[in-house]
Amino acid sequence: MVHPTVSPHRSSGRARAAAHRAMAMAALASNSSTRVRFRRYHLHMSKAKALALAAGLQGQDELWEVDA
């Protein structure tokens, strides 16, 4: 049996934050009204920011912020 050297729980917050950033960008490109797209975008970005802060990724999410 092979054991990973890095705990999978350590990076799960980073992976979830990245997934929410990807969902936020997908929300902007969806075939919905502008209001719905921005609401979904901001929902996913707020989740990504919270997960990033919990994972210790402060300062790396500013690149992903889009102001409407």
Is residue 9 one of the residues assigned to a domain? no
Does 27 map to a domain? yes
Burial 18-43 (b: 16+ CB within 10 A, else e): bebbebbeebeeeeeeeeebeebbee
Which residues constitute the domain of residue 38? 17-56
Provide the 3-class DSSP secondary structure of residue 11: coil
Least confident of 9-18, 26-35, 41-50: 9-18
Flag whether 61 is in a domain. no
Domain count, the chain: 1
Give dist(CA 15, CA 47) in Å, integer.
12
- pLDDT for position 66: 55
pTM of the model: 0.65
Mean pLDDT, range 8-14, rounded to an integer: 66
Where are the alpha helices (H) located in the chain, listed in sequence order?
A: 12-28, 34-55
